[in-house]
Structure 1
Amino acid sequence: MQTIKAGIIGGAGYTAGELLRILINHPQVKIGFVHSKSNAGNFIYEVHDDLFGETDLKFSATFDSNVDVVFFCVAHGEAKKVVTEFSPSVKIIDLSQDHRIAADHSFVYGLPELNKEAIQNANYVANPGCFATAIQLALLPLAEAGLLNGEVYASCTTGSTGAGQSLTETSHFSWRQNNLSVYKAFMHQHLAEINQSLLQAQDNYSGNLYILPQRGSFTRGILACITLKSDKTLNELQVLFEDKYQDEPFVFLAPKNCHLKQVVNTNKCLLYLEKNEDDVMIVSVIDNLLKGASGQAVQNMNLMFGLPETTGLKLKPSAF
């Protein structure tokens, strides 16, 4: 059985903690190193205390180049600085936003439901953003059918873990609890990568997508409620979505309106369609730390190494 030796850079944050939880239990992965500038020499479970009893690994102060794949869980802007630390034979999966926009780099955009074949042949993959994943999976069937021809509105509510581990006013318990607010309206940083993918799927797509993000009073998950106009019947739209995702192991068309507890702690995306006259509503729910980050990163690793996509990712939702 193939053994993949993996390294993690930026090992102290939420995405790295979830990545470690998956990789420790992945049947074909051995963790080579977990790098953290601020925690070097400490046991991993001293930071990620949910991993107490799961591993005796310590954070390292240096990188180990003797690995097969490295996950970048660093702050935006930092990934570009460390790519050259590894030989071209080492596969890289970047969970930051540094390489998501196609430009002068060799990273493949890592949305498996859009770029599966390219990911399978890639050495470098840029993992999509969490909002971007939820919204793109809701819109790709329409884009591939050439049906995105007007304005699209995405009202998206995310949990506090989407803001990262650093304490800020709006992630503080006393501010976030029993509260709700809009932020970065129309200007969210994931808009560029979403528009890039939709244009890839539909070459005449005009880019009329408006994102309205909200901070929710919970820790994990994203619920995206997307509205647009279409003269297609509900049945025609459902068939379109079923055909698109019938062979995708993590995306499902739900028979009734879905909610976050169906996907939290999984790599799933659930989609639900509803229609009122010419108005279409698409609900998309994911776990922002898994399908929106670390779970999707492992899904990409599986594809890059020729493993079944679901390896190590058969996770039950925390439904109650």
Structure 2
Amino acid sequence: MIKVGIIGGSGYTAGELLRLLVNHSQVTLDFVYSTTNAGVSISKQHVDLLGDIDISFTDIINPDVDVLFLCLGHGRSRAFLEEHTFSDNTKIIDLGNDFRLENDQNFLGRDFVYGLPELQKEKIQSAQNIANPGCFATAIQLGLLPLASSGKLTDSIHVNATTGSTGAGVMPGGTTHFSWRDNNFSSYKVFTHQHLDEINQSIQQLQNDFDTPIFFIPNRGNFSKGIYATMYTKYDGSEKEAKALYDSFYKDAKFTIVSDSEIHLKQVVNTNKCILHVSKKDGMLLITSVIDNLIKGASGQAIHNMNLMFGIEEKTGLELKASAF
């Protein structure tokens, strides 16, 4: 059994991680660290886990766990690892953005590998530390990587993607309050979203001459979970050729599926799937990508990475059912 520790256990990402781990056949939960909730039953914070988990949050850390998940929020993992020491045998999976970019991936003697399985499965399998991708970055990269692999991203790329309210985290804010979010729709960080850096990095890994702009408009949707992303760019080939390219690129992917028909968000919510659809019109290739932002875009992908690191069958603990209605 893999002994697991979680740092920062009270947020949406950690809650989703716990829901998956308590049903993972190869895992035992050693501790869930939270300074603000130490001594509080986990099922009091994550009420849907009542009857599934009987331990409490703690402020005591076991430095010898087999794998450590960092769910601290962006920019806080580096400071935590500077203050706390773990065994050289402890594998670390960071769900924040601290180690996703190449220049940040060596820290205190630990080398982090960017954890997008569809991009670099073999590197993940031999990695000791993983930088889990961002949610928007996951949906967008999976939509673009087949084109990059064939050097076909030669013009500007336009992306419009909408995420649910859980993407903003558990702490309430002006744009997450129900009375603001309900029956509402808005954009934010237009053309400047932080996930653009990791998207560009991955595309250039497959197409090193890529230097065209990505115009990304992120939106806030008035639903809880999921990301619905559309991307379009000029494409010289036929729709049939594009579909064959995507089918080939993802033929061995366990969780990324190319659909022959148009797709919608409920096909993936509460699963670790990414479903893609491609079509061509007036010289433009349109790619649609849908994921659950907290599972495929965060905690599910982190467990997928853990499975790869420990040589476990990739779908273990992740064979989940979508909310079809």
With normalisation by structure 2, the TM-score equals 0.97
CA contact (8 A) 2:64 2:89 kept: no
Other-structure match for 2:43? 45
Match of 2:193 among 184, 188, 191: 188
For structure 2, the 5+ residue unaligned runs are: none
**Once the 2 structures are TM-superposed, how far is the Cα of residue 224 of structure 1 from its aligned partner?**
0.3
Identity %: 54
SS of residue in 1 equivalent to 2:102: coil
Question: AA paired with 1:95?
Answer: L
CA–CA distance in structure 1, aligned partners of residues 64 and 119 of structure 2: 31
How much has 1:207 moved relative to structure 2? Answer: 4.2
Quote the residue 2:273 is aligned against.
Answer: 268
| Residue in structure 2 matching 1:244, options 239, 249, 253 | 249
In structure 2, the partner of 1:117 is: 122
Q: Which of the numbers 5, 8, 16 marks the counterpart of 1:7?
A: 5
* Per-residue deviation, residues 28-75 of structure 1 (Å, max 9, x unmatched): 000000001110000000100010111101000121113100000002
The within-5 A match list for 1:47-196 is 47-84=45-82, 85-104=85-104, 105=106, 106-196=111-201
- What letter is aligned with 2:249? K
Looking at structure 2, the residues matched to 83 and 114 of structure 1 have their Cα atoms a distance apart, in angstroms, of: 27
* SS of the residue 2:297 aligns to: coil
Is 1:35 the counterpart of 2:42? The answer is no
In 2, Cα distance between equivalents of 1:32 and 1:215: 36
Root-mean-square deviation (Å): 0.8
TM-aligned CA distance change 1:90 to 1:207, over 3 Å: farther
- Contact kept? 2:64, 2:87, Cα under 8 Å: no
Tell me, in whole angstroms, the C-alpha distance in 1 between the residues paired with 2:167 and 2:20: 19
CA separation in 1, counterparts of 2:310 and 2:35?
Answer: 29
Match of residue 210 from structure 1 = 215
Q: CA deviation at 1:78?
A: 1.2
Unaligned stretches of 5+ in structure 1? Answer: none
Give the 3-state SS of the residue equivalent to 1:211 in structure 2.
strand
Query: In 1, Cα distance between the equivalents of 2:18 and 2:5?
Result: 10
Give the SS at the match of 1:273.
Answer: strand
CA distance in 2, matches of 1:168, 1:228: 35
